[in-house]
Amino acid sequence: MSADRPIAPSWTELVRANHRNTLGLVAATSGTCLGIQRGESRLVTGRRFRPIHPTALPRLALGDSWFLGVLLCPGDSTNELVAWARTLSRPRLARIRFYFVDGTRLAATLSGWNEAGLPDVPTFKVDDFASFHKLFGRHHADVVYQDAMRAAHRDDTA
C-alpha cells in the first residue's frame, strides 16, 4: 500500500462513526411484537431508532440510509406493507428484514407479500427482546457499514 493512501477504517470504527446517520425503524402491530418494539426504541440509546406502525410507512420520508425490521406475531400479516413496498426499488427492498416469534404461521403471514410478487426478504426467528435486539442491531450495523462505504466511494469518485 502506498504511503499516500490512508488505511481503511475497520468495520467497528466505521459503524461507530456513522451509526447516527442510519434511521432504524421497527414495525409491529400486535402482541409480543409491540413489547419487543417498545424495548428496542426505549432501551437503545445513541442511535436513531424509531417505532412505527406499517400503515405509517407511506407517509414517512426516508433518506438514503435507513433499515426496517418488521416484527411478525401470530395473526399478523404483511398486507399493510405491500402497497408501500411495491413503490420501492430492489435495492431499497433489501433494507427490510422480517423477524417472527414462536407461533407465527409464516406462510399465512407472508401470503400478501408473496402474492404481490415482491422478492423474498431475509426472515429470522426471535424468542424475545434480547434475541431481537441482537439480530436487529447486527443487521442495522451492516446497513450502516454498507451505506458509509458507499458514501465514501462516492466522495472518492466525485
Asked if the model's pLDDT at residue 1 lies above 60, the reply is no
Q: What is the pLDDT of residue 14?
A: 86
- Count Cβ atoms below 10 Å from residue 15 Cβ, excluding itself: 18
Mean pLDDT of 72-89: 94
Give the angle 145-62-136 at the CA atoms, nearest 5°: 45
- pLDDT tens digits for 7-55? 667 888 888 888 888 999 999 999 999 999 998 878 776 678 889 999 9
Q: Are 84 and 57 in contact (CB under 8 A)?
A: yes
Helix-strand-coil split of the chain, %, nearest 5: 50, 15, 35
Superfamily designation of domain 20-157: Response regulator (3.40.50.2300)
Cα–Cα distance for residue pair 13/27, rounded to 1 Å? 28
Report residue 69: phi and psi, to 5°.
-105, 125
Tell me: pLDDT of 105 over 90.
yes
Q: Find cell 411484537 and name the residue.
A: 33
Residue spans of beta strands (DSSP E) within the chain: 23-27, 49-52, 66-72, 96-100, 123-125
Q: Taking the CB of residue 40, how many other CB atoms lie within 10 A of it?
A: 24
DSSP per residue, 110-150: THHHHHTTPPP--EEE--SHHHHHHHHHHHHHHHHHHHHHH
What average pLDDT does the structure give for the chain? 89
Question: What integer pLDDT is reported at residue 42 of this predicted model?
Answer: 81
The letter for the amino acid at 56 is A
Note the pLDDT of residue 21.
Answer: 87
Interval 141-156 mean pLDDT: 83
Percent of the chain exceeding pLDDT 90 equals: 70
pLDDT of residue 72: 97
C-alpha cell at 118: 415482491
Which residue in 9, 138, 144, 12 sits closest to 65, CA to CA? 144
User: Where are the chain's structural domains?
Assistant: 20-157
Q: How far apart are CA 20 and CA 48, in angstroms?
A: 6
Give the amino acid at 33.
Answer: C
